Structure 1
Amino acid sequence: MKRVAHLVINLHHGGAEQLVVRWVRARLAALGHDSTYVVTLDELGDLAPQLPEANLFCLDAKRHRKPWDRAAVRDLRQFLQAKQIDVVHSHNLAAQQYGVLGTVRSAVALVQTQHGANTHVLGMGNRLRSAALSRLTDAVVAVSAGTRDSMVSQQFIPAQKIRLIPNGVAAYSQVDELEVARMRAQYGLDDCFVFGSVGRLAAVKGWARFLPEFAAFASQVHAVAGGQPAKLLLVGDGPERAAIEQQAKSLGIADLVVLAGFQTDPQPWLALMDVFLLPSLSEGLSVALLEALEGGLYGCVTDVGDCGTVVREVGHGSVLAVETRAWSQQLLEIYQARPKRRVAALSSSFAGRIYSQSHCLECYEDLYTSVAINP
């Protein structure tokens, strides 16, 4: 067994952070309480209570200090030595920088996973920083082919340096139907056709361009005599929440948009939906999309990262047109077709098996063993 420490900026709610928490919980259950830790740079974050306190360590790094916070690097090195860590697994660029500084000239190996195209690295300075850090990293992982291609073209990382390990989710587990019915009533979703999504409410998720098309679609539904009402359920929180609320009001659809806020367990919320939406401007491989497909939902996504690829492989969904003005018609066609749920669409299909959590974690275990300096 290799002792692993995941290094992240924080454990606030986000796709990558949720993944780290799930991976750590699974590894602790399989390999024991001293097998896996999480180190945060800035603060612990909202998801931290889901992990044992003894397996968390916060560096409280002052990242504004140039070129870096030397005290945080010292504390990281001391932690790795005290816990006899074999592999540091960093997630995205800022964590990778401290991972390199904390492991260089030591017996600790460094694995870096990039979870998306990461538009924040498009500046030349960050591109060069990414390229330099990758040379000092034992293994670099992309979660999707699209992310890998972006790393090659935008961050100057050689293709042969990058390993592809798709994100994976747990197999479908049945939800309490009575609880689902209660939640539908509580949020005004009874007798509604529900389009929904789970994720951070950030500009990159594309809601600003989607809402006008949803309003146009809703007006068409309203014009159909006896048409079942359609609503939009957004589960998550983030910097764009207030803007989404204001835009919905200005479009006259505030009563059709339900903002449920951040939820620790997305499964009951996915059960409220009829169609899962992902109108993102940029993605790697959305874990929420994988969970939605495993739960039987029809996926409606933009062709970013590997999201369109997964929907095509599983054969239960559609890809939104490049031109946003076509989206309202696509939504109407989906609404009229009433796609049925295909529970376990991922784990029961040959193509989807590579998106299982077990397959993902097996790939990482093999990687940890191959890069670890100590046998």
Structure 2
Amino acid sequence: MKQEPKRILQVSGAMNRAGTETMLMNLYRRINKKKLQFDFVSYSSEEAHYDQEIEFYGGKIIRLSNPSSVRELVQAIKDNGPYAAVHSHTLFHCGIANTAARIAGIKVRIAHAHTTQDDSQSFSRRMYLSSMRQIINYNSTHLLACSKGAGKYLFGEREIEGTKYSFIPNAINVEAFLEEKNKSEAVKFKEKHGLEGSLILGHIGRFIEAKNHLFLLEVLEFLLKKEPSAKLLLVGDGDEKEKINVKAKEMGIEKSIVFAGLRQDIPVMLQCMDVFVFPSVYEGLGLVLLEAQASGVPCLVSEAIQEEADLGMGLISRRSLSDSTAQWVDEIISIAGKKLLQPYEVSRVFETKEYTVASSIRKLAGYYLEKTGGANEKDINFLI
């Protein structure tokens, strides 16, 4: 008799291209789907970037209408299961997700922290966060985080010292960023967009306030005084994109910016960059920083970036957002063209630091299966 794969319900909101969602897809592509299968809860009526790929691999997109409804999610779990685990990635909404999972009888209920703060600090918001922390910690069997800062924000100081808590490094497919074809494709892209011979600043991320695109414009404006041919390559989409476009025109620097939009060829985009600039106001870890380091690109980041993002490859430099744009520009000029590591050195660092997909699958599979059988090392290795 054919044995069905154990199913895991991932609660992520909507599977659009962003850090957490990309990390999940890195894992999903590699798991042995005859043994383990993912389904995904979406609170969007619109098709998300990864939906078709998920369905191609046999996963379900479960569309729900009300993120605040425990009852709706309980019913969805019962209708689409059975599930070995529910794994929620939706910040303080993890409390609702894991409450529903507990009511539905799910033995493994994971809350996963991916960021260090959100946009609102009002009194009512702080009260909400405090109550939701208690709900998350009570209803979750495991508390995971991509950095200590993210864990402390979502679960609280006391909980990250407890037995429920674990640090799970974000996972990327390192090999994809080491392929030689990325360099030749980057040359073609630069030729097409008039970037040859320019000092190219790069940024990859959603156009939201937290990513601080306005500051990137200020940095570019100052850099152009020293390097008139400099360019800014912006990869991504989001609500703030048009605002940034308009501001660039007001500043008279729009001809020095390439808005590349959403891209699937991120390794190629990174090879186009001389310096990756990441001035986030807050950040859980920054998956794209791992990708930049895998590509050998020097990175200049704000103080909001967690220490765990620096893999010790000599590619991460830091400046405070309170520093002047002149100081940021001087640092950019200083680090542009840093010596790159050899591919085998890059692979060794990622394996040692356990930022590989295989390492993350082994860890997560242990959590997924520990209360349902099959959590021994042999079975876990077979899931990759």
TM superposition score normalised by structure 1: 0.86
1:61 matched to 2:60 = no
8 Å CA contact 1:282, 1:305 repeated in 2? yes
CA deviation string 1:138-169 (max 9, x = no partner): 10111112212323548x74531321112121
1:204 matched to 2:210 = yes
Report how far residue 282 of structure 1 moved.
0.6
1:49 matched to 2:52 = yes
CA deviation string 1:296-324 (max 9, x = no partner): 11111112242x45337222221123423
Residue matched to 1:75: 76
8 Å CA contact 1:169, 1:291 repeated in 2? yes
Of residues 323, 327, 330 in structure 2, which corresponds to 1:329?
Answer: 327
Of residues 185, 188, 207 in structure 2, which corresponds to 1:179?
Answer: 185
Residue matched to 2:22: 18
Report how far residue 196 of structure 1 moved.
0.4
CA deviation string 1:51-72 (max 9, x = no partner): 2343122232233xxx626344
CA deviation string 1:46-104 (max 9, x = no partner): 221222343122232233xxx626344312321123xxx21111112325513421342
* Paired letter, 1:207: H
Q: After the TM superposition, which residues 116-127 of structure 1 pair with which residues of structure 2 at under 5 Å, given as runs?
A: 116-120=115-119, 123=125, 124-127=127-130
Equivalent residue pairs, number: 358
Residue matched to 1:36: 38
**Cα distance between partner residues in 2 of 1:356 and 1:287:** 12
Kindly tell me: are residues 368 and 239 of structure 1, through their superposed partners in 2, closer, same or farther at Cα, counting changes over 3 Å? same
8 Å CA contact 1:5, 1:37 repeated in 2? yes
1:170 matched to 2:169 = no
Q: After the TM superposition, which residues 196-275 of structure 1 pair with which residues of structure 2 at under 5 Å, given as runs?
A: 196-222=202-228, 229-275=229-275
**Cα distance between partner residues in 2 of 1:34 and 1:361:** 11
**Aligned-residue RMSD, C-alpha:** 2.6
Residue matched to 1:226: none
8 Å CA contact 1:121, 1:127 repeated in 2? no
Residue matched to 1:145: 148
For structure 1, the 5+ residue unaligned runs are 223-228
Report how far residue 232 of structure 1 moved.
0.9
Q: Tell me, what secondary structure is at the counterpart of 1:349?
A: helix
For structure 2, the 5+ residue unaligned runs are 376-384
Residue matched to 2:380: none
Q: Tell me, what secondary structure is at the counterpart of 1:102?
A: helix
Report how far residue 342 of structure 1 moved.
2.7
Report how far residue 283 of structure 1 moved.
0.6
Residue matched to 1:318: 317
Identical columns (%): 21
**Cα distance between partner residues in 2 of 1:86 and 1:351:** 28
Q: Tell me, what secondary structure is at the counterpart of 2:174?
A: coil
**Cα distance between partner residues in 2 of 1:111 and 1:328:** 44
Of residues 1, 13, 32 in structure 2, which corresponds to 1:9?
Answer: 13
8 Å CA contact 1:73, 1:102 repeated in 2? yes
